[in-house]
Chains A and B, each alone.
Chain A
Amino acid sequence: MKKTTFSTLALFLGPGLAVLLIFFFLPVMAAFILSFTDFNIYSLGNPDYLRFVGFDNYMKLFSDDMFWTALKNTFYFVIAGGPLSIAASLGAAILLNSKLIRFKGIFRLTYFLPVVTTLVAVAIVWRYIYHPRYGLLNYFLGFCGIDPLDWLGDPHLAMPAIIIMAVWKNFGYNMIIFIAGLQNIPEELYEAASLEGASAWQKFRNITLPMLAPTTIFITIITMIGYFQLFAEPYVMTQGGPLNSTLSIVLYMYQEGFRWWNIGYSTAIAFSLFIIILIGTVIQFRVQKALEK
């Protein structure tokens, strides 16, 4: 095959690459430059009021309690919510992969419903479900003898409440990927293990988990990237409160950027998030490499 001509290339790749360049790569670079300036509301009114401040914005992050709070909350969400939602996905996938269950399609569909629904709408629904007096959750907990909890009003409970909702919303997505992974495991492995008298747990431990490792790594990475970008849930449900207990990095970035127009600072926050995600991804790739060996 000979090389494709330039005009054909331009026709096919031009539009896509142009859009990506104008609306993604150049903005990333612009944001990077902005993060070294003190662009804020004054600069918006008068471009003379703009200074290059070097690493000041990044240094300021270190002494900014709000940023640390946001960081802590985001890590809380990622570290507690991530594994929880992956475990829920895996559990559901194994359940639906079982040969004993019929009507798989219906179950799968039901489990998947929260994934496709609009986050803002379900966040509003959950706000009412979490209502301390009239909410369904407290009502059902009441049957188990648990006193009403103020889910979104108590600083210790607000983040768990958001995590519960996020797990509910997201587990269906990864479940599908896990099901695909499970179906790729050769049946003979299980049969052989059964012949040797392995228990269900042993089979899970020695066959399912290792065979699913690549899928799990993939899921961990996409879940982590997604969860680090927590925004709409706290924006709609708690506005970051109470006591900043649900202030996430993206929410903080949004507030600094679009509420107060501290753009320089806000882009610095965004890049810190990028660096954190980058480190997280690299670590997981390393883990993957180590596992493969």
Chain B
Amino acid sequence: MKKILLYSTAIFVAVITFLPFLWMISASLMHQGQANTYPPRLLPESIDTSHYYKLFSSLDLSGYLVNSVVISLGVTVFSLLINSMGGYAFAKFRFRRKDTIFNFLLTSMIIPGQVTMLPVFLTLKNMGLINTYWAIIVPGMASIFGIFLIRQYCYSIPDSLIEAAKMDGASDFKIYLKVILPLTKPILVTLGIFSFMGTWNDFLWPLIVMTDSGMYTLPVALANLMGEHVQDTELMMAGSVVTILPVLIVFLVLQKYYIKGIMMGSVKG
């Protein structure tokens, strides 16, 4: 009896969480106007892929897709490199005021990013980076959260391994490359997913730094599309599917790392 109750609750919640997605996909395949009927349709009468076709032909969503992919990958690659070096240094190097600096970084995590938007915008403008991929990649290359995550993980690496490598005459950089990076692979994957998804899903920043519509990322392009096509429910749903799908795939493939990362991030340092 209790089991039935638990199962029905679990299934009920699952249906609620999944229904919006289901409807999104379903509506994106309906004929024009069919998503706006009463009573609402749950499934299309017959499959109509013309909205997807329109997205990639006359509305040219593929360019935005490329932008999103390059920017998200760019942030991911750079942030992995820079944050892992920083995190490793904070975990294993010995230098003055290490803890003071690190605690200062940690504390400043509560400053909301919005505070910095305007000055960062003006800085990027002076660097001539507005309307380039760098406008999103450069500010995203280092994050306090990323450094924190790597540092936590590096603590689990025994010092003896590093010492042994030093004995063999390896340079600091070589140790990082040959010992630390392979050992921190799981957390690197986690951080990579975080960076990729965070960048992919971000809206406000690309909205601001990409004044040239050819440089929009998918979410910005989608919100833009909404302006003129708010009546075209089916088209908007197709656009949403295209925007969501890549992150969803990344998530499904790498979900166990991602979930592990959330748990790690919640362990207080």
**Contact among B40, B82, B111, B233 for A28, CB-based, below 8 A:** B111
Q: Answer yes or no: A128 CB below 8 A from chain B CBs.
A: yes
B136 CB to nearest A CB, Å? 11
**Contact of B159 with A by CB under 8 A:** yes
Q: Give chain A's interface residue range (CB within 8 Å of chain B).
A: 35 or more
A95 and B40 in contact, given A9-B93, A20-B105 (Cβ under 8 angstroms): no
> For the complex, what is the distance from the CA of A34 to the CA of B96, rounded to whole Å?
33
Contact residues of A: prevailing secondary structure: helix
Minimum CB–CB distance from A115 to chain B (whole Å) comes to 9
Q: Which residues from A are CB-within-8-Å of B115?
A: 27-28, 31, 267, 270-271, 273-274
Interface residue? A198 (CB, 8 A): no
Interface residue from A110, A214, A229, A266 paired with B17 (Cβ < 8 Å): A110
Partner-binding segment picked from B5-13, B45-53, B57-65, B183-191: B5-13
Cα distance, A128 to B18, chains bound together (Å)? 15
Does B237 contact A270, Cβ atoms closer than 8 Å?
A: no
Measured between beta carbons, the chain A residues less than 8 angstroms from B86 are: 12-13, 15-17
With contacts A117-B247, A231-B204 taken as known, whether A125 is within 8 angstroms of B23 at the C-beta atoms is yes
Chain B residues with Cβ below 8 Å from A117 are 21, 201, 244, 247-248
Per a CB cutoff under 8 Å, which of A100, A111, A267 touches B14?
A: A111
* Residue A215 interfacial (CB < 8 Å): yes
Query: How far, in Å, is B235 (CB) from chain A's closest CB?
Result: 11
Contact A3 B95 (CB under 8 A): yes
What mask results when residues 109 to 123 of chain B are scored 1 for a CB within 8 Å of chain A, else 0? 011111111111001
Are B93 and A263 in touch, CB under 8 angstroms?
no
Complex formed: what's the CA distance from A136 to B41 in Å? 9
Q: How many residues of B contact A (CB 8 A)?
A: 88
Residue of B nearest to A171 (CB): B17
Asked if A92 lies at the interface with its beta carbon under 8 angstroms from chain B, I say: yes
The residues of A that contact B172 with a CB separation of less than 8 Å are 4, 8, 11-12
The answer, among A120, A139, A225, A257, for a CB contact under 8 Å with B117, is A257
Indicate whether A126 reaches chain B with its CB closer than 8 angstroms: yes
- B266 with A180: CB separation less than 8 A: yes
Give the chain B neighbours of A8 by CB distance below 8 A. Answer: 93, 172-173
Complex alpha-carbon distance, A133 and B37, angstroms:
8
Whether B20 is near chain A, meaning CB under 8 Å from some CB there, is yes
CA distance A214 to B266 in the complex (A): 10
CB distance from A22 to the nearest CB of B (A): 7
Decide if B112 touches A19 in the complex (CB within 8 Å): no
A267 to B114, CA, bound (A): 9
Which residues of the partner chain A approach B179 to less than 8 Å between Cβ atoms?
none
Judged by a CB distance under 8 angstroms, whether B142 is at the interface is: yes
Give the CA-CA distance A125 to B115 in the complex, in Å.
29
Q: Report the bound CA distance from A205 to B12 in whole Å.
A: 25
Contacts of A25 in B (CB 8 A): 108
27 CB contacts below 8 A, A to B, read A3-B94, A3-B95, A4-B93, A12-B86, A16-B86, A19-B141, A19-B142, A23-B138, A23-B139, A28-B119, A31-B116, A101-B7, A111-B13, A111-B14, A112-B259, A119-B201, A119-B203, A121-B244, A125-B237, A134-B35, A134-B40, A172-B17, A214-B268, A250-B112, A263-B118, A274-B110, A277-B110
